[in-house]
Structure 1
């Protein structure tokens, strides 16, 4: 639970205003159905319902603050008992609101004309949900009041000392296990001599991170900054114990004149810490509360001593205020004696990066052989296994669960030595670590501190991961989609919500809650146990048949592993968990899968996320899941269609059935107004992504099937590419119904007829090609049109560029249209007329590109002010047969012009450049017949020019001299052998 969830709920309440206005209006319009008193009674009910939701809006922010405070004190029994109940009430409030929002979207989709939303609203929401709303509000009020009486409204978000006791430099254990090498490493980094002071071993510290010695004091030197060495690792791995044994080592005590131990914990108060450092100096007292006086005193106390300061258990509040807290604390150590050091222990990689001056020491779990000896010590009080082979066998089986963690070994060791009998040990062996009752200083409470220090928006994301089994390989993109569907990700302006989910994931990675393994991520087993503990009322994993009796009654998220010892009857029993929001079912359901799915969709109507291995059908009852945002079917399934009721899933964001070969989508599929991603076999649609989505008609039946899927996917936006359109018949092309894709911005039609037609089961005649182009007509909102019609029969642009469907076009690209003979400029005249008639604000087009049209001989007066009044960029390349007409002038709006291997342009230069006052870029490449350009053009018509490229123009002899182009910022002239001015121009330009 987090503040972002509260914001989402409140915004949802505000969105329902239209729904209530519509309900009141609908009651009035249907007044003939009721008497006057009945109508007034209905109007009163609607007002009361709206008032109740507004009250909920005002209540929820305070409730979330209360939950935040309560989580810091959940180790108290009474708080731990009430907190799940309060969270449950908030979940119910969110579910209730989400149902209202669904009706709001239904109204948006179906409009006011239909009475069915109104009738459904009263039948399924109003009559039953009015009392439900009161019940939720009363529960929130009652539980909040009880927690407030415990002082949780003003709770300080700090670690309780009973959970994280204060540490000192004295070791609790006389012996440290398995740390000889790391001890040696750390002492080397601390510059502790290996034998004596005379034969001192220098540490392998990166000298670039240390200041050079200066200000000689006797035989010693001073340094201008203090070296900081972090020891980093997860909670309970032994960082503090390692630091204690280092401080207690005789060589370390001999090397440093002063060793100071400070237990920082989560309160990095500079004044407090400075006082503690002073008071740790022999015979010194902190006699003032003035920070300046304290820091000056500290600077004097440590000035002539080689010291070691250990800052144990630092958290990232040390880096708050843009790192100023840490910098302020370090201020007294600006010029200290050489060899002085700070040793930091932390579980936060962020702290490590923020304070270190050398590479950190990363502490991992103990190795197996050493860990077994330590474990035996924790259990039996010695490294003997008590000579009981059965207990030793059970102990060795338990050991892998602990992942080398010394604190985990102590936790389990305490539990095991309570009863040195095999039955007791087997109970512990068969239990999950998170299920075992633990003391406040055991491993899970210790790890829970890491969780508590997360921001609220990350807590709910991480705790949700407890629903996945251990060692699950997470993909960032996939998990972010699930978090969004669950409502855990807060919108931030125009940033795509999936991107924000990715940011959340990366934050958890930097805090070591996820570890990268190749291209995926895992959660450390002990952190997974901790996640299961903090979410034990919400998340559950079904591993075998016996687990069905352990499911929490108000469980929200379930994961079903593919066990063989339960069947569909067990899966049907899940229907009793009516508050379920998430169901991951990895077990294949067999021939009766449709029945199981039907029961789930009928009974579990609060579901937001469903991921199942397979199903032989998508049942009609799927339409009852008003809250559903994410539906995944991970394996190939036999069904070829989905029911029309599917189109009522107005909240659905992602439908992923990557191995399912649907042959079509329901006619009302466009009603899925929240749909962001659709993945089917060979077909992927992602809303808002700019990469081109390609469909290839040359793939036979598969290609035709995919193009057919476009028919009812009218949400399609971005860039759509259809390749090998020459393989389509007119009727097949018409099935795409491109004209209805009102969100489509860019369309590429690629003829690609080089493919062998004999490989296709349709024999398409040449006269059909133009008909195919005409039925692939894009929507009137299209911004960019790209045509690649190689080896198509001779045609004019008028065959595809029709005035009634491109009024908003900004860019036209005509590439590799080998048989194109005319661009049919009258079409552009018509378009300009239509634009003016309909008062469109965008003139056509902004960008015209004609590339590789080998037979194109004329532009038919196209490149003029009359036809292209708002054109900004023109490229004409690889059209060698063009016959440029004499005397035409490019439009004055033009900003970029490229003429490349485009016929004999000598008649039109310089006259065609006379009007280009807006031109900033001019490229003339392989322009045959171009002989000269008068110098006055650069100073008058082309005064705005910033970039000039002239390449491979063999007949060019003059462009007006170096002085004429001197003001142009970038000039590049090459392979113009007869242009004597080129060298002087290039030298001046450099």
Structure 2
């Protein structure tokens, strides 16, 4: 971490010197010399940091020295950021007031005496801070010279290799097949009269040995899934908080815990939910040795459940297994992998994408390294992932001969593998990994949110060729490929990781590397202040977790952590409105302020004083307006006010946030609107989830989209009021945006109708060229909508079209894979017009790249998923439409019929489908009867493997 901080500070210092910022502080004698001296000191330190980082593992004095270096680097980063921000804001003010060709002349002559006085004061303040920090750094440099550090080979400017790679999903767990079979048999065996009503099976073993992975394999086993009516997985906190665990159980049962805070009420709700069911409850990573905490929960779960229900517990402590009620025959102690099993797992990762010649060259060294994994699966996986990126024998020998193996730590056999993998990361990537230690164990990391948090801390830098978000995505994938993350949730379309977790042992390692830098504290009824008192006031990052919604106050002690750069609140404190002004007054170094769902009603007007602030999350609060002072946050990158349904307008000066890249204003209520003016100044904006169009003619704000040419991903446009002229819509110039791929259009909130038709609005929009996802909601027209630009769509959602009687001819779309048609109350019949076949002949002469004739040769040629929800729909035509030259929906995999109570039958081409894998019929009574086994429709679709009738 120190190396990364030093690198950041050096980068800023070089920039200041290159731009001759010393001239900007010319009123303070000697500042330029101080800046150059700082650079020289940091360069001297950087040259030995590689050696120092390894030596600190063995020598406490070096670890202390590294801590001092981190502190001064953090402080220097703050000072330089303060000064750079002041200069930029001053320049921006001049740019706003004067034309570009007069700026240079007017910079010195047009600034008011009061502004000049403030500027001079700031220069003296910054200069004094730089000098003070230089004095501190002098002492650190002198102490450096007392250590026997080795200079980095090649000097301080070693090139950093780039690592990006796909994540390896191990489809089978080496050496655990027998153990899995044993556990499955124990879970599914019939209970005897001598056995307790609820058996507890325990997996016991040291950290990193694969307990959780084995439990996951068992939990997801097909036999287990069908044997138990209810399955629940709970990650157990170290405190074994009964209330928190019971809430997690209810959430696993898809039951609401809202307004249930008392343990007894929660237990009663669980009893109701499992009554008459055979259930499996997995309690992962139990530490509790107090049997009284477990007995109340266990006794409650016994009531009402069917015989054969089971608990499956994972723990590092055999005593815990006994306390949880496992008999000696119900405890499986996981042993280490055999040498062959360990080698098999190690080589699965280490030799990934290597050819046979490379494997042969590296196998000898690889087997020696695998022996050092000591049979631990996590060690084998971690080291294998590290060596995956090394192709020469010399690189593998370097890992084997590293002196980190000499460190004796009987309690943690994973230190060396984790350290080697961490130390092999590029210097700039290490803080991204270590930042994850801020969060509590078992925290679910959302990929995109984590990248934004890295950005806010300055870990990611924009380059001429690559945006910060792209770099962050590459680094996230690289950390996942190194096995620093696990338990991936992936996007079903592109396979990209959406969410993940971090293994407990990896989390412990990251926390050990960030000792005294970050902390997470749980507020769960105990004395919160006493938990915080022992934490160093030099901490830079904090997560405060509230386990009972609204039951506890925000701890006032947090105000004393004046160096905090991150304050993240998880849960719902009762006093956030009172605490927020004090936080803003005291935490002047904040870069991240994340307060979602904290009941905040008002944002203090002086929030603009937090000049370092880059990430503000105020989502799902009760805020009525955002203060204009927020627009003074010149460095703001992310602003999230989604779910704040009381917010009626954005600040008038929001265009001043010229570095804003992500703006989220999503309102869960479709009828709500936010006045959004001035957005045309936000030229850096990459993400805007919703844009609300208000007014018409001169009062319209739709031109605010014109300059937002860097938007990426998805955009939803809501319309308030009416549009009088198609040319007005064209002002948005969406066609200039080359990175938007999803577009949602909501027409439902317009007061007037048909000044111009909704289909005219669609045509006038001239959408971005890469749009492949389109949602049209609350369409009020009476003609079918199929604008000329629709042909390349992959996903279409048509929701709540009140007047349309016929579904548009969507069968003509050659690339359509997913279609949802819902809420068209006037539709009673779906026929050949839906397939687009009747229009084919008339459109054969179309001179587009793909003619309509070609497109309809096979209606819906790529459609995989089809979802209908039409309450008045009676007839779906399709008899005789399947023939030799026109196969309808040849790729269909999933059909979902929901809330279609009048629909009588499916068309022949659905019955005849050989590709259909899933058929779900929900709230459609006539069809449900037909598709029961033995019903009229059963013979036609009995070959479909997954049929669900609700």
TM value normalised by structure 1: 0.47
Q: Which has the larger radius of gyration?
A: 1
TM value normalised by structure 2: 0.49
